[in-house]
Structure 1
Amino acid sequence: MTSRANEILPVLEQDIVTGALKPGTRLDETILAAKFGVSRTPIREALNRLSASGLVEIRPRRGAIVAAISLQDLMNMFEVMADLEALCARLAARRITPAEKTELLAAHVACDALSATDRFDDYYELNLNLHDLIYKASHNAFLEKQVRELRRRLSPHRRLQVRIPGRIGSSSEEHGALVDAIIKGDSALAEKLTRDHVAIQGERFTDFLSTLPSQYLQASA
């Protein structure tokens, strides 16, 4: 995507997942272009990316509209994501190279440096890098492609998660234990820790619900 489309995308994502743009809302390219002070090209690029992540539907003669996403669908995707990432971690613990270990540890140190701050978006980007390194260390290109595709769909919602009070700190602690397990080659522990890290359960489930706009709850009722 162009740089302008990359700037517009997170703004539209945030408006959709927080409910500022409700399901069924038409996203007119001309109006959005005027709002952001750009041509329609970067708007179209951003809308296509949102369509790929499931947040927008592009319909013939109607153009782009905000998609309705049920809470159940969202939870199902998180459940599958937890299993895919857990498999990546298990394989990474078995296959990671010495150079990859060094890179993974450095990525954790970078994340941890922000664990006591409110730099949510910066932390999220560093978090993505850390997980990318784990995918890569699995040395399974097919698995890596599948987990990246699903992560793209969940990315706006996972970005919201890091804004839950205290979540950055606990996330970094979980990363520390996970990175240690992978570096030590403990595949069973790495798998378990990753599943627990990605899955939304118990109190984390309640906290996550609090970040969602009401239409998700209505859509799943």
Structure 2
Amino acid sequence: MDHAPAPLRLSEQLCEKIEEQIVTGALRPGARLDEQELAAEFGVSRTPIREALIQLASAGLVDTRPRRGAVVAEIEPHRLCEMFDVMAELEAMCARLAARRITEDEIVGLRAAHQACEAARDADNPDAYYWLNEQFHRHIYMASHNGFLAEQAISLHRRLRPYRRLQLRVRNRMKVSYSEHQSIVDAIVAGDGERAAERIRGHIQVQGERFTDLVASVRQLAAQPVQ
């Protein structure tokens, strides 16, 4: 039986392309998203563009404002901190459950995802590291064997994509991140749920110097001209 995933609808494909531009900073916070301009850029009608923007708005990546239409969402630093706090607790729950429920095949997959991050770290490639890092975290979500929890973690992870990506551009953050990943893997494989939860919580939380670095990065991005 063929279990290949169904092809994405046009609006879903466009949603992913626009999201990629937001995540990479090509579309910065506050940038106006003109339906006609986007339709011309992607060679489509305005209808699937409008549907894609609705999807992005539901994910929190786009705001709809009076007289301005759709714009890339902006988040205040204190709000970001709150969101990272929630993300840290969701991932801690995933890691705690994964330490109890992960299968041998899933351990192999988690280790492979961790090792894949190593090459990007060594190449000092934060963009490649980011996408591999996302796969690493998804392995942990899936290993929790709690579908609802995984859905919530994936949803918030997606909302925080631009800011998690910014963090990796801070000096030495990739090296530190990879080292933290190792301690998370070790705890999960050892079946130590509390240690796994503690390690991943510390990995995600944005406090102290990391919060200062993130705020500085967000302000630098926001200060650049929008399209």
TM class by shorter-chain length? 0.7 to 0.9
Which aligned pairs between 1:68-217 and structure 2 lie closer than 5 A?
Answer: 68-213=74-219
Aligned: 1:6 with 2:16: yes
CA distance in 2, matches of 1:105, 1:96: 12
- Per the normalisation by structure 2, the TM-score is 0.82
Query: Which sections of structure 1, spanning at least 5 residues, go unmatched?
Result: none
Q: Which runs of 5+ in 2 are unaligned?
A: 1-7
Q: Deviations over 1:156-181 (max 9, x none)?
A: 21111112121111111110111011
Q: TM-score, normalised by structure 1?
A: 0.84
The residue type equivalent to 1:12 in the other structure is I
Report deviation, 1:26: 3.7
Deviation at 1:58, TM superposition (A): 3.1
Distance of 1:57 and 1:181 partners within structure 2:
39
How much has 1:27 moved relative to structure 2?
A: 2.0
Q: How much does 1:9 deviate?
A: 2.5
Please state whether the residue corresponding to 1:212 is helix, strand or coil. Answer: helix
- How far apart, in 2, do the equivalents of 1:158 and 1:95 lie? 27
SS in 2 for 1:115: helix
Please tell me whether the aligned partners of residues 22 and 72 of structure 2 are also in contact (alpha carbons under 8 angstroms).
no
Counterpart residue number, 1:54: 60
Q: Deviations over 1:134-175 (max 9, x none)?
A: 011111111111111111211121111112121111111110
Q: Deviations over 1:171-195 (max 9, x none)?
A: 1111011101101111111010000
CA contact (8 A) 1:94 1:185 kept: yes
CA distance in 2: counterparts of 1:74 and 1:109, whole angstroms: 29
Q: Give the secondary structure class of the aligned counterpart of 1:65.
A: strand
Provide the aligned length of Structure 1 versus Structure 2.
Answer: 211
1: CA distance, partners of 2:113 / 2:73:
34
Are the structure 2 counterparts of residues 114 and 214 from structure 1 closer, same or farther at C-alpha, using a change threshold of 3 Å?
A: closer
